[in-house]
Chains A and B, each alone.
Chain A
């Protein structure tokens, strides 16, 4: 549609709501939460077909490679939005705001934008994958603890298959068809849905009869080892909670009236 409009010399205006929808799934990789939900989007500026997203982070020092990842994700979502002629992203209040802003808007790879400061082999995709794995393990830890609390024992849990988990994300409910019974988990649907989505992006749990609980490399937990496994997965979750809680708290403190959502995940489990 946009090319026709352009050819005709007039165009449909882009709305702020469209922009927010387009960037809704851009995550802070370390916190595993969307930037929009975290309140990190300062504002959106639209002039006809030219769109700029301005964002900010919890501290002046947030790691520039993470900032770069978020900025380039934002920009690629904007460019994919029909009707957009130019897309810009601006990072505010940051020790490397200039390098990030200019680099991303000029389509430079991270290592080039920080020439002389970043090693050339710095691979943002690898970083993204690392945090995808951690996000997967954290959601799994939450799911596992809910299953244990619901009374399933280790044997029953490790026997579960992908098809045994049915999720209603809207109602935030998960149903688990265990061998002897159906377990109904309230306030567990969103977590379980994210678990499955992350598994899919990692190429895991593809088959209906795949074990529901596998590690981030796809290996099943050996019989009798669930307790050990849980200690590791808890630590992964504690790290992410540390980041989330520290960063959202710092963000609130730094920008006192920012519309940051309650992003703590502690209440979901344990």
Chain B
């Protein structure tokens, strides 16, 4: 729970986080090295200096560190674990549902565990999806359409094979489809992060919610256009939000666009941990005000009510969580203490979080 400077309580769901292992021992090849190096550059590039981690911690952090950063230090009430398999790059995967389940099991009330599917796996993939439901009772999946598999460098949300998986999701009660649509990395040719394939899928499956992570950047215009047409399309803020620190005016322009086109009810907060830590993102987001000229041009504002929706209420609605009931049911102090003790007991070395000597200036 975030307590505002004037004492109000704000329920927070971090809609996007990872519990990954990119340690050298788990790296399968140069791509595994290249992947985490690239993430680390994103992290160093957009984090305030005091939140920059050393590389070895960034490659692999403990469950205690993560719980501490979220629930003790970071105001988060609940967080959604979004898996990224990348088994072609990492021996055990980067953060599979199974890997994420470790921290979910340690903090049952606090984490929502999502699964994943890959339509290229056919029947076997459908079996795997059913087994995820059986084992973890998942309510959502994270899809990564640009993932390499053998000679294939990606797939589409509106492929007929993918539709079979949506149908299975509906049967199993998996209703939240998170999709990575972000900066162009990876796909060899045709842009696998192009957002146009969202459109048909969202029309065909009105009972599924499509949460487009990174709001399609750098294809914000296409994303807004589709999200305006399709009421079951949402935008996740990871990657856009950290600009609030380094380029606040730019962040204001993005937010104003989103509020103008899709409104305050379909935007979700997410840190993308460990890309960025929730604490500073939440503090800066709560304090953020639109410049007057942007307010005037778009006719929208980032009110307290809107901020509450984005920080937690929208995700709560998608995942069937009652914020009031949840807040009173969560043993806040006990949990804090528990996370604190575990953290202090087992992750002392992580306390040495002094920023590395990264040169952030041009």
Question: Chain A: residues with CB nearer than 8 A to chain B?
Answer: 30, 58-66, 95-96, 114, 116-119, 122, 231-232, 234-236, 238-243, 245-246, 249-250, 252-254, 256-257, 260, 262, 264, 266, 270
Distance in angstroms between the alpha carbons of A239 and B218 in the assembled complex: 5
Which chain A residue has the least Cβ–Cβ distance from B186? Answer: A61
**10 A-B contacts, Cβ less than 8 Å apart?**
A61-B185, A95-B30, A235-B224, A238-B250, A241-B250, A243-B183, A243-B184, A249-B46, A250-B45, A260-B362
Distance in angstroms between the alpha carbons of A256 and B217 in the assembled complex: 25
Distance in angstroms between the alpha carbons of A119 and B192 in the assembled complex: 13
Q: A59-B185, A235-B220 are in contact. Are A266 and B249 (CB under 8 A)?
A: yes
**Residue from the set B30, B37, B188 with the largest chain A CB neighbour count within 10 Å:** B188
Distance in angstroms between the alpha carbons of A6 and B35 in the assembled complex: 48
Which chain B residue has the least Cβ–Cβ distance from A242? Answer: B218
Distance in angstroms between the alpha carbons of A61 and B44 in the assembled complex: 17
Q: Mark B155-191, 1 if CB is under 8 A from A, else 0.
A: 0000000000000000000000000000111111111
Does A252 contact B45, Cβ atoms closer than 8 Å? yes
Q: Mark B343-362, 1 if CB is under 8 A from A, else 0.
A: 00000000000000011101
Enumerate chain B residues within 8 angstroms of A243, measured Cβ to Cβ. Answer: 183-184, 218
Is B34 in the interface zone, CB < 8 Å from A? yes
Distance in angstroms between the alpha carbons of A184 and B188 in the assembled complex: 46
Which chain A residue has the least Cβ–Cβ distance from B31? Answer: A95
Other A-B pairs, 7, CB within 8 Å; known A63-B185, A250-B45: A63-B188, A96-B188, A238-B220, A242-B217, A246-B45, A249-B45, A256-B358
Enumerate chain B residues within 8 angstroms of A241, measured Cβ to Cβ. Answer: 250
Q: A238-B257, A246-B183 are in contact. Are A119 and B190 (CB under 8 A)?
A: yes
Enumerate chain A residues within 8 angstroms of B183, measured Cβ to Cβ. Answer: 242-243, 246
**Residue from the set B217, B246, B358 with the largest chain A CB neighbour count within 10 Å:** B217
B34: min CB distance to chain A, Å:
4
Does B42 contact A62, Cβ atoms closer than 8 Å? no
List CB contacts (< 8 Å) of B47-96 with chain A: none
* A234 in complex: contacting residue of B34, B187, B218, B253, CB < 8 Å: B253
Distance in angstroms between the alpha carbons of A108 and B139 in the assembled complex: 48
Q: A59-B41, A266-B247, A270-B249 are in contact. Are A122 and B190 (CB under 8 A)?
A: yes
Distance in angstroms between the alpha carbons of A116 and B190 in the assembled complex: 14
Distance in angstroms between the alpha carbons of A146 and B113 in the assembled complex: 48
Does B34 contact A95, Cβ atoms closer than 8 Å? yes
Enumerate chain B residues within 8 angstroms of A270, measured Cβ to Cβ. Answer: 249, 253, 293
Which chain A residue has the least Cβ–Cβ distance from B256? Answer: A234
Question: Chain B: residues with CB nearer than 8 A to chain A?
Answer: 30-31, 34-35, 37-38, 41-42, 44-46, 151, 153, 183-191, 217-221, 224, 243, 246-247, 249-250, 253-254, 257, 260, 293, 358-360, 362
A259: min CB distance to chain B, Å:
9
* A239 in complex: contacting residue of B35, B46, B191, B219, CB < 8 Å: B219
Distance in angstroms between the alpha carbons of A96 and B224 in the assembled complex: 32
Does A60 contact B37, Cβ atoms closer than 8 Å? yes
Q: How many A-B residue pairs have CB under 8 A?
A: 109
B153: min CB distance to chain A, Å:
6
Distance in angstroms between the alpha carbons of A252 and B358 in the assembled complex: 11
Distance in angstroms between the alpha carbons of A49 and B243 in the assembled complex: 46
Q: A30-B184, A242-B218, A266-B250 are in contact. Are A60 and B190 (CB under 8 A)?
A: no
Which chain A residue has the least Cβ–Cβ distance from B38? Answer: A59
* B362 in complex: contacting residue of A64, A65, A238, A262, CB < 8 Å: A262
Task: List the 4 closest pairs (A to B, CB-CB), nearest first.
Answer: A235-B221, A61-B185, A60-B34, A239-B218
* A61 in complex: contacting residue of B38, B250, B260, CB < 8 Å: B38
Which chain B residue has the least Cβ–Cβ distance from A247? Answer: B183
Enumerate chain B residues within 8 angstroms of A254, measured Cβ to Cβ. Answer: 41
Distance in angstroms between the alpha carbons of A117 and B150 in the assembled complex: 10
Does B221 contact A236, Cβ atoms closer than 8 Å? yes
* B188 in complex: contacting residue of A60, A65, A246, A264, CB < 8 Å: A65
Distance in angstroms between the alpha carbons of A60 and B246 in the assembled complex: 23
Q: A122-B190, A239-B218, A266-B250 are in contact. Are A234 and B257 (CB under 8 A)?
A: yes
Q: A252-B45, A253-B41, A266-B249 are in contact. Are A119 and B34 (CB under 8 A)?
A: no
Does A232 contact B221, Cβ atoms closer than 8 Å? yes
Does B187 contact A242, Cβ atoms closer than 8 Å? no
Enumerate chain B residues within 8 angstroms of A245, measured Cβ to Cβ. Answer: 243, 246-247, 250
Distance in angstroms between the alpha carbons of A225 and B35 in the assembled complex: 45
Enumerate chain B residues within 8 angstroms of A30, measured Cβ to Cβ. Answer: 184
**Residue from the set B45, B190, B360 with the largest chain A CB neighbour count within 10 Å:** B45
A269: min CB distance to chain B, Å:
10
Which chain A residue has the least Cβ–Cβ distance from B33? Answer: A60
Distance in angstroms between the alpha carbons of A211 and B38 in the assembled complex: 45
Distance in angstroms between the alpha carbons of A249 and B260 in the assembled complex: 28
Enumerate chain A residues within 8 angstroms of B247, measured Cβ to Cβ. Answer: 245, 264, 266
Q: A235-B257, A238-B253, A238-B257 are in contact. Are A118 and B188 (CB under 8 A)?
A: yes
Does B359 contact A256, Cβ atoms closer than 8 Å? yes
Does B220 contact A242, Cβ atoms closer than 8 Å? yes
